[in-house]
Amino acid sequence: MVFRSFDGRVAASLMVTGFVLSLAGCQSAGKAMDNGALQPDPPKVKASDLRAYCPKVTLREGTAYFNSYAKGGQDDPSKLAYQAAISDVTRDCSRSDGTLTMNVAAAGKVVPGPMGSAGTVTMPIRVVVAQGSQVLYSQLHQYKLPITDTSAATQFAFSDPNVSVPVPAADTYQVFVGFDEGPPKAAKPAAARPAPKVARKKKPVTPAAAPAQPPTQTSISDIPR
């Protein structure tokens, strides 16, 4: 009797296991036959693609922070609306028909300042691909981030998935991402003061010289004797 009871339990266990496997097979087949159409297998990743060159992204010094101030309060800490900071950068690459396409991403946070308020902040983020002194790609994005809580930092994640350049013959590409406020605004030149008027001195009028008298002809008769 003991052996029969044991065999019954084993048989039941095998039946449950078979049912689960059958159900899993049906579910798998259901995914493959989505809407009655056989779905193609996802493309396989080649080992050559994993070893292929994908340029490193660099956060250039001086482009990791961006400050925004209330109107008229430039560079005044008490007028700071918010400060944005990039803390991480990354990318992924794909190749097709001689073109290298990259998705360049940057992540960070926005910290409200004394003049911060809820709303949407706009951050100028530029992505650049260069080869030596030659710029192959440069795009300035006006990235908008909604701010709802001014008592804490707000995280953000930016990406540019359309970075396309020719596949290089050598590993010589440089990729940069960072905040770009553009060149500093030149101060308006002070209005030129009009030159003081200098009174011109009138030249003294030189009286015209009296016309010279013709010389008197002296004769012998005029000389006193």
Token digits of residue 78: 């008490």
3 state SS of 41: coil
Do β-strands 65-69 and 134-147 pair in parallel, antiparallel, or remain unpaired? unpaired
Exposed/middle/buried for 131, CB within 10 Å: 0-12, 13-18, 19+?
A: middle
pLDDT tens digit sequence for 36-62: 556 666 655 555 555 689 999 999 889
pLDDT for position 136: 97
**Of 156, 109, 125, 110, residue with least CA distance to 60:** 125
Buried-state track 179-212, b at ≥16 Cβ within 10 A, e below 16: bbeeeeeeeeeeeeeeeeeeeeeeeeeeeeeeee
Q: Tell me, what's the pLDDT at 32?
A: 44
Q: What is the pLDDT of residue 3?
A: 41
Specify the pLDDT at position 87: 96
Q: Which residues of the chain have pLDDT under 50?
A: 1-33, 212-225
Pick 47-179's CATH classification: 2.20.25, 2.40.128, 2.40.50, 2.60.40.
2.60.40
Which pTM was predicted? 0.62
Other CB atoms closer than 10 Å to residue 151's CB: what's the count? 6
Note the pLDDT tens digit of each residue in 135-165: 999 999 999 999 999 999 999 999 999 999 9
Backbone angles phi, psi at 67, to 5 degrees: -110, 140
